[in-house]
Amino acid sequence: MKLAQTGGETLFAPRALHAGAMGTALAIEDPTGEIRRVPHLDAVAPPERAHEDRGAHDGANDDEILQEGPVFWGRSAAMGELRRRLTVLARSPLPVLLEGETGTGKSFLAEHVLHARSGAKGPLVVTDLSTIPDSLMPAHLFGARRGSYTGSVDDHPGVFEQAHAGTLFLDEIANLDADTQRRLLLVLERGTVTRLGDSKARPAAPRIVAATNLDIAQLVREGRFRHDLYARLNPATRVRVPSLRERKEDLPDLIRFAFADALRSGTLLPLARAWLARSPAADDLDSPTVSHRHGPFAVLLPERALQRLSIHHWPGNHRELKLFAANALVFSLMQPPVRGGRASATLTVSERLVDQLLDVASVPPASPPSATPSGERRIEVALKSGRTFAEISADVERQYLTALFHAHGGDLGRMAVELFGPGANRRKVHLRMNQLGLRLRSLRGAINSSAS
């Protein structure tokens, strides 16, 4: 796979298209004709080649390492500091708390850096605490015996037991209620866990990596997160993962890499084969598959499109960028191919398509509710005609909760107090929002985008 700058445009040229991969290598050709390797896509090469390339980084200066394995660090100072910090923490037994906006890659770093380089003999177990109902949280974390609660038909270990001697990644740890925080603290202190309905203590001492998109220290000051649990998670090892907006110098490369990653995805293989079959060079293609010898094609991204992508705020960060690249390639593959000067066919991601996809993704936030002198909330609600009363009621509630979410800056605890009174559990609000199809990641991304 090649990537080149040609006439103000960015060109990706996969050399191979087969069941195993979309490409074999990636390089950048600058205007002077010099080819330089882009190590981010070493994983596309054969395993023995990728191993050799990774070994080439051993002993290199920190500032010269842009990528290690599947992790692209880039050139930004924030990511350089993050890499040096995580490299040290990965080899230590200390718990790590990752903080950062949604989509910044916290779970990716936990898997490919903190666990992969820890030398742990046990497995990596990942759990998203925001998706577990309060009633099932103890069983999910600590396990349960058969019959210990309604619906428990078998003995099963919790995630702490499953991750023993390995790494337990607790995503969205700020979502835990007070009682679960207390139980979690006891397990961390003792290194053992007792399943629900059981009296036997079992070893459960995984290395803890926790993540959140909230400021845990602020939650502690507000009394919504236990100080002793926060201390156990070790604030000295707290690491903040920067957003894409803070990595301006890395964005052009990250955009190119997102397209290249999408190209080598097996999910795009049928579409790419069908597109190549319609190309002017289709006679060169083997049937029924595109062989390793035939089927080179280029992906062209106009310079103006790359510039707009580089100044986009990316509120969803890497997750949004990855989805954008996949969407852009799918819609471009619907267009008829044309012959390219550097390859058999050229797939162009048009400026118009880039504008359309960014405009669709940039949904304006709901108008925040205004407070009247009597303390009431007032919002504007838009309703469609021809709907049932139940649909209208759900739509009104959905719009009100969205507006309230923005008014409180995404703080579910304050929303719970306003909706249900003092002492109300924030998870009650979260579960209702999930029922209505409101996703916290998207809503917080909209807040971050409007704030910037």
DSSP-assigned letters across all residues of 328-371? HHHHHHTSPPB--SSSSEEEE--HHHHHHHHHHH-PPPPPPPEE
Taking 80 as the threshold, does the pLDDT of residue 180 lie above it? yes
Q: Is 450 within 8 Å of 439 (Cβ atoms)?
A: no
Give all strands (DSSP E) within 100-191, no chain letters.
124-128, 167-171
Instruction: Give the model's confidence band at 338: pLDDT under 50 very low, under 70 low, under 90 confident, else very high.
Output: low
Which of 283 and 449 is assigned the larger pLDDT?
449
pLDDT at 199 (0 to 100)? 87
Which three-class secondary structure state does DSSP give residue 377? strand
Q: Is 193 within 8 Å of 160 (Cβ atoms)?
A: yes
Q: Is 186 within 8 Å of 201 (Cβ atoms)?
A: no
Taking 60 as the threshold, does the pLDDT of residue 367 lie above it? no
Instruction: Give 61-68 contacts, CB < 8 A, sequence gap 24+.
Output: 66/39, 66/40, 67/38, 67/39, 67/40, 67/42
Instruction: Give the model's confidence band at 192: pLDDT under 50 very low, under 70 low, under 90 confident, else very high.
Output: very high
Q: Distance between CA 155 and CA 138 in Å, rounded?
A: 14
- By percentage, how much of the chain surpasses pLDDT 70? 73
**What is the CATH class of 77-241?**
alpha beta
Sheet containing 27-29, strands listed edge to edge, beginning at the edge strand earlier in sequence: 35-37, 27-29, 2-6, 9-13, 297-302, 345-348
Which of 444 and 168 is assigned the larger pLDDT?
168
Q: Is 347 within 8 Å of 337 (Cβ atoms)?
A: yes
Taking 90 as the threshold, does the pLDDT of residue 127 lie above it? yes
Please report, for the chain, the start and end positions of each structural domain, with discontinuous segments joined by +.
2-63+247-360, 77-241, 370-451
